[in-house]
Structure 1
Amino acid sequence: MTSISILGSTGSIGTQSLEVARARGYAVTALAAGVNLDLLEAQVREFRPRLVSVAPPYLERARARLEGSGARVTDDPCEVARAGADVVVGAIPGLAGLAPTRAALEAGTPVALANKESMVVAGPLVWELAARTGARITPVDSEHSALFQCLVGEDPADVLELIVTASGGPFRLEPADLAQVTPAMALRHPTWTMGSKVTIDSSTLMNKGLEVLEAHFLYGLPLERVKVLVHPQSVIHALVRFQDGNLKAHLGPPDMRLPIQYGIDSAARGMRYPGDVQQARRAPGPHTDYPLARTLELFEPDFARFPCLELAYEAGRRGGLAPAVLNAADEVAVAAFLEERIRYTDIARLIERALEEAPDGKLSWEGIEQVDAWTRARVGEMI
């Protein structure tokens, strides 16, 4: 029986990971949550983990509510990451997910990675750490899982480019004036059900920019060979173009439980890219009759309408600490937009200014912490 620990168990990916665990019979070793004690308590009562973490202000309340459950309660998600499961699902959103992801890799535990920010801001450091401890990393993001499945068994030298798809969000064509967009409008994603931060990022295409950087670091392909196509139907999740001109495309329903299952099973079985030729085992699922008789469209992205995508490429070209600046500025700007303190179009403007003003520095764990703190303070001042 595969055992898993989940970082971010009460979020969108975390709750769906537990649905997969229920269906597949995974044992749940530990759960890291934040502030949603009602949902966490229900998860603990059903899955019986031996360790749980919550946000520090909620520690005593969580201990009182979970008394008698058999779970030890802490306020450190890194303990959950080191709890000894076969696979850690890294699903804490934002830069907050980096430290526990790092802790899991330091312990040599395979990570099914949904927290794209860890790879975006610290990709080379993450791979150095994984190489030192022997830990494996498999992707859980739908696009990166699709790329992984297209690349398994292929020679990296044969790969010309990676293509991730974007739904285009709710504002691909309308309204003409994006300055009038409200949080309620931006949170109505046409295809996926996600947390508020990721949903806003999807609407600005920043999420796709982060995924470009993640693919660049995950698969080691130069940034200019990682492309984006807008695909409103969200059926094609990614494509790989090979040197001879052939393409592989991964198609499937927009259901995150599928890449979650694939990522966990791949990590548990020791799969990695490059070098593997064996697919992770597949279990019967709810989409075997998913209809494909439909029109599938692909469009070039509009960089002028969605400047966040170009800002992500620019941060990747600069390298070093620039992706950490990009990520921190976006987190602060999106939070301010959701609080209606700035306009929708100010998100990109704030990120651009932060990248212009940020100090240069060599990529290091300490440097990431320092530039993250600087960026959050500076963007706060701009707001």
Structure 2
Amino acid sequence: MDDLSKQIECVLAQHRKENIRESTLKLYQLGFNRLLRLAKSMGICSLTQVLENAFLADNLHTVTGRYSSTRHKLHKLCIRKLVEYNENAYRGWRRPLNRNIDKPGLPEYRQIHQAFLAQLHTEGKSKGTVESYRNISCKFLLFAEQSDVLRLEDISEKTVVDFFVALRASWAAESLRTAASGLRTFFRFIEVDESLLYALPRRLPRKTAIVDPLTEDEESRIWSYLAVQKLSMRDKAITGLIMLTGLRAVDVAGLQFNDVDWFCNTIYIVQSKTKKALVLPLLPRVGNDIAKYICLERPTSTSQHIFLTQKAPFRPIGRGLCYHIVSKILRRSEVPKRNCGLGPRFLRHHVASKMMNKGVSKSTISAVLGHTNPDSVDVYISTREDKLRSCNLPLDGIPMQMEVLRP
């Protein structure tokens, strides 16, 4: 057996281990067989650039003689699988992302930046936090290089101020708050002079949005849709769980079997964003939907995550799929679009607003939603129109006079 045949067998064997559907494997086998026949006719026993080009050029339908996009895509996928296997030893289903990420140019800056990222991972920072801090710290170091500040010791208050002035030209004021937070963490890591920390902008505005919660009619339509329509048990369980608890999508996707206590009827998780423990009651409706999914629909898998993808290879879902599921159900329930979109975050707003309308205290709402700062729920206060109307001041007793508007 030549090298090309061995590579193809290894790729297909790996896909079989990942429980890829047999119909998909047969489709790939069809493409690989074409590649082997072409290689044999050309007298080639390994994957070369000449063989790749000839295989990709073979894109005509065998019956009509016209260009076939299906044939071209299949051949392109077969080549991609083999290239990834040869170069990266990658045999998975998803294509790895080759991102062009900016890096500091100076060796000293690059070394300290890599050490900073390693420290963030050691501290258990979330993926989003690490990416945000990586981006802003890299931008600052690149700005320092362009400003001829070639050593960490030469960074001054003026460098920090000039950086934020330049950043303000393309960043919103609310985004500068995140930038200042990330740069503050970076400065503390490199142990700069305290004066640089004071040079960072303070009292920046927080990004907030007034979100109208679900009306009683809209909420009723969603529950009716979940009860009547033929949806997957997984989608029903996920939507019901978020609607009744306000959990973040990333925490729903990461929910595992040992997080659910069926005897005490509680859900215990460590939140992905805050790393804080959160205990919530397992409501009957939520518990029943999750149990039905586990017993009747969940694919057979060794994964400890509760919610899995519906197609092989069966892996834990991500927060992106959570958003897609919730958004699809809300749109099909004819819920009008809000300014924050129709997803798990919108339902999180709805849960907080609903508790507030029932007179639940801010501290309790903050605890249920898993906030570390009780003031984080202040944005939900703006959604209560009756409370806003009660805050207006009467104009009685204020002297007023009529004036004629003149052109």
Q: Using structure 2 for the length normalisation, give the TM-score.
A: 0.23
More strand by share: 1
Q: Which has the higher contact order (CA 8 A, sep 6+)?
A: 1
- TM-score, normalised with respect to structure 1: 0.24
> Is the radius of gyration larger for structure 1 or structure 2?
2
